[in-house]
Amino acid sequence: MTDPGYDVVVVGAGSAGCALAGRLAERGDRSVCLVEAGPASRLPDVTSAASLAATAPGHPLNWEYAARLVRGRMVSVPRGRVVGGSSAINGSYFVRAVPRDFADWAVPGWSYDDVLPYYRRSESDLDAGGEVHGRAGPLRVRRPAGHLLAPVTPVFLAACSALGYPAEPDKNAGGPPGAGPVPSNAAEGVRISTATAYLPPPWGAAPEVRTLTVRPEVRALRVLLAGDRAQGVETTAGTIRAGEVVLAAGAVGSPHLLLHSGIGPAPVLEQAGVPLRAELPVGQGWSDHPSVYLPFRWPGPPPHPDAVAGQAALNLDSGSDPAGDLEVLLFARPFGEGGDLHLMCALQRPESHGDLTITSADPLAPPLLDYRYLRTEADRRRLRAAVRIAADLLRVAGLDRAAPEGWVLGNDVRLDGWIRNVLTTSVHLCGSAALGRVVSPDLRVHGFANLRVADTSVLPAVPRRGPAATAVMVGERAADLLAGPVRTST
């Protein structure tokens, strides 16, 4: 295919990339090419809000990265590899970062008040109104109710209340943490990915636009650079030239592309054999939520087949973070037929940081992810606290915990050992090409006039809540940063 050249090429049709490309293209004044390594898919694994099938290792719609969580514990980490990205395969938990996250990051132009209009612009909240919610955005947001409320959910929320945790009926209101239903980007059992919400047919359900070209199954290999300017991207389907390049390949894909373009730490690039273009801490110092699943038996009826799994959450302060540094998330559906239900216990504001590196100059070789989880006693202490609180909730609810046994739960050393053996990640990696460290507040990579990153890589740290809603906000905000603000009617 001859490359016609575009005003903007966006790499990665994920949570942020679809929002950015869709919003830019709807203005009609510039040509936009959206490049995605994965295919378009309407499999039930993608469209059914209840399905987490595409998160399984080996599923063709996810990238499977080998990752080390702690010394001796390797896991496979999924990420969406499909038009819609991780928003097309994830748990549909759609909760905003809290005001304190933005205050901690202290990036000019990225305060909670600055970004609130973009959260609002992204959504149509079908339950909640008022100043903080959007009513006319492309992503429909709902909380479990009626037949989509799993029978176990009120039991969980009653246990939270019995233990004295405050209710948090609207987790997107920016208030203090507590127990409440989880807003999700799912309506009547259908997962609303960002492809569905922001892209026109045949990719999604947004209005037709002429200025957008979507190229699925085209993988970017590196950014084409000349001095301090990006000229386009090299891909598996040839060179795509553009006046502006935006990487929205996610918090693994974008730093991977930057490293293969020669932008990163000098020792990493030298060791991989990639010529250095600019020394920046790409892939360094990111964070993610370490988590473990506490299994329990549910003797009651199963949820409706359309109900989302992640129905309700308790967000709470471990003792040093009033904005809530722990989360206990109810999974109201077993991972396999007839299996246990789970409480996911997660540390939402970890001190430990990870590294993403490359060891070869081959851009098709996967990066290495070293999470370095639970390096500090404060992190270990808080994750133990989350597990014990979850166990208490089960006790109060009269539900049988399947693991760990009491003699493990009651002893710090044994509980640390149990946690280490079952440790997993929430797959919320953020901060691998962070605002301040790698990109400026307008998302430009330091030293490059027309190369930007717009996805969860840029968040300075993983927010205290899951990042899916924040990824979409970044895409919305990036569109205004590239093209200037538009008047909205949310």
Looking at the annotation, which residues are catalytic? 428
Instruction: Based on the shown chain and the rule CB under 6 A, indicate whether residue 438 belongs to the binding site for ligand FAD.
Output: no
Name which of residues 46 to 75 contact ligand FAD (CB under 6 A): 55
Nearer to ligand FAD, 424 or 450 (CB): 424
Nearer to ligand FAD, 174 or 381 (CB): 174
| 91 is a contact residue toward ligand FAD (CB under 6 A) | yes
Nearer Cβ to ligand FAD, position 249 or 259?
Answer: 249
Q: Please, which of residues 248-287 interact with ligand FAD by CB under 6 A?
A: 248-251, 253, 257
If one asks whether residue 93 binds ligand FAD (CB under 6 A), the answer comes out as: yes
Q: Which of 9, 10, 16, 263 binds ligand FAD (CB under 6 A)?
A: 16
Q: Which stretch binds ligand FAD (CB under 6 A): 22-30, 76-84, 172-180, 406-414?
A: 76-84
| Residue 348 near ligand FAD by CB under 6 A | no
Residues 390-419 that bind ligand FAD (CB under 6 A): none
State the number of binding residues for ligand FAD (CB under 6 A). Answer: 41
Which residue of 38, 138, 290, 460 would you call a contact of ligand FAD, by CB under 6 A?
A: 38
13 near ligand FAD, judged by CB under 6 A: yes
Contacts with ligand FAD, 301-320, as mask; x by CB under 6 A = ---------x----------
**Contacting residues for 176 by C-beta, under 8 A, at least 6 apart:** 166, 168, 322, 323, 324
Taking CB atoms, the residue at the shortest distance from ligand FAD is 14
Q: Which stretch binds ligand FAD (CB under 6 A): 81-89, 119-127, 133-141, 270-278?
A: 81-89
CB 452 within 8 A of CB 244: yes
Give the nearer residue to ligand FAD in terms of CB position, either 404 or 467: 467
CA 419 from centroid of its chain's CA atoms: 23
Q: Is 12 left (phi over 0), alpha (psi -120 to 50) or beta?
A: left
Provide, rounded to whole angstroms, the least separation between the CB of residue 472 and ligand FAD.
Answer: 8
Task: Please answer whether residues 255 and 265 qualify as being in contact, where contact means their C-beta atoms are separated by less than 8 angstroms.
Answer: no
37 is a site residue for ligand FAD (CB under 6 A): yes
Shortest Å, Cβ 37 to ligand FAD: 4
Q: Which is nearer to ligand FAD, 15 or 318 (CB)?
A: 15
**Residue 342 to residue 480: CA distance in whole angstroms:** 40
List contacts with ligand FAD (CB under 6 A). Answer: 11-17, 35-38, 55, 78-81, 85-87, 89-93, 219-220, 248-251, 253, 257, 310, 427-428, 455-456, 466-468, 471
